[in-house]
């Protein structure tokens, strides 16, 4: 048990170090040698855990997505609250300096590494769309949302949550302050819930901001 915990701790250290180096140097310029040197571990240890650099980078993206998908796994939370909590984490990760830097890396490397791009999509955006779609499908079946295409609803929500903001911030626009961002998030969830409200539900109370 102790050895397993040490192994998991070392694996997580490798992932965090790799994340830092990928953000600093990009995917192509970050070698397994650099990551091994930074962690103080043998390069073979990296290969034993991940197989290759592509798998290690994919794990970085998978863990990032997993961290903001946590609120969607709370089955006891009302749908608006669940979506609000998810949206807050989602926006924080994608619109933060680190999130924008990672997005730049992905866009820069995708055409040169198509296999990597497919793996990244499945581990990050694809996994996000899949889980949000499941949440939408369940909400539609239970009557919390009007019947329809759950994947369309998922894609619409995700687009609303980042929308043009990511483009603006990539081009140098300054992020909103925390209170303004919270107010905007509340309006996004309100607008989404109204758009997909069941026919017998006339009003949706906005989450206080």
| Same-domain pairing of 75 and 122 | yes
The pLDDT value recorded for residue 110 is 84
| Same-domain pairing of 165 and 207 | yes
Six token digits for residue 68: 């903001």
| Same-domain pairing of 175 and 208 | yes
Residue 173 CA to residue 163 CA, distance in Å, equals: 14
Q: Residue 6: inside a domain, yes or no? A: yes
The pLDDT value recorded for residue 135 is 96
Q: Residue 56: inside a domain, yes or no? A: no
The pLDDT value recorded for residue 207 is 47
Those residues of the chain that have pLDDT short of 50 are 1-3, 207-209
| Same-domain pairing of 95 and 174 | yes
Domain limits for position 27: 1-51
Six token digits for residue 112: 């040169």
Domain count, the chain: 2
The pLDDT value recorded for residue 209 is 44
Residue 15 CA to residue 46 CA, distance in Å, equals: 10
CATH code for the domain in which residue 28 is found: 1.10.10.60
| Same-domain pairing of 78 and 121 | yes
């Amino acid at each position: 048990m102790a050895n397993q915990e040490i192994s998991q701790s070392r694996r997580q250290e490798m992932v965090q170090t790799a994340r830092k180096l990928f953000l600093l140097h990009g995917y192509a310029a970050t070698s397994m040698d650099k990551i091994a040197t930074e962690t103080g571990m043998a390069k073979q240890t990296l290969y034993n855990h991940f197989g290759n650099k592509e798998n290690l980078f994919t794990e970085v993206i998978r863990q990032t997505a997993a961290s903001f998908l946590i609120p969607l796994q709370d089955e006891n939370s009302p749908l608006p609250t669940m979506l609000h909590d998810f949206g807050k984490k989602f926006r924080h990760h994608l619109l933060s300096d680190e999130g924008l830097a990672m997005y730049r890396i992905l866009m820069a490397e995708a055409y040169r590494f198509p296999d990597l791009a497919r793996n990244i999509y499945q581990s990050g955006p694809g996994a996000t769309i899949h889980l949000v779609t499941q949440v939408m499908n369940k909400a539609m079946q239970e009557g919390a949302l009007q019947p329809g295409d759950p994947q369309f609803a998922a894609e619409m929500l995700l687009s609303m949550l980042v929308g043009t903001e990511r483009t603006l911030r990539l081009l140098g626009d300054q992020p909103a302050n925390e209170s303004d961002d919270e107010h905007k998030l509340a309006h996004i969830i309100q607008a989404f819930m109204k758009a997909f409200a069941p026919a017998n539900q006339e009003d949706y109370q906005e989450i206080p901001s």
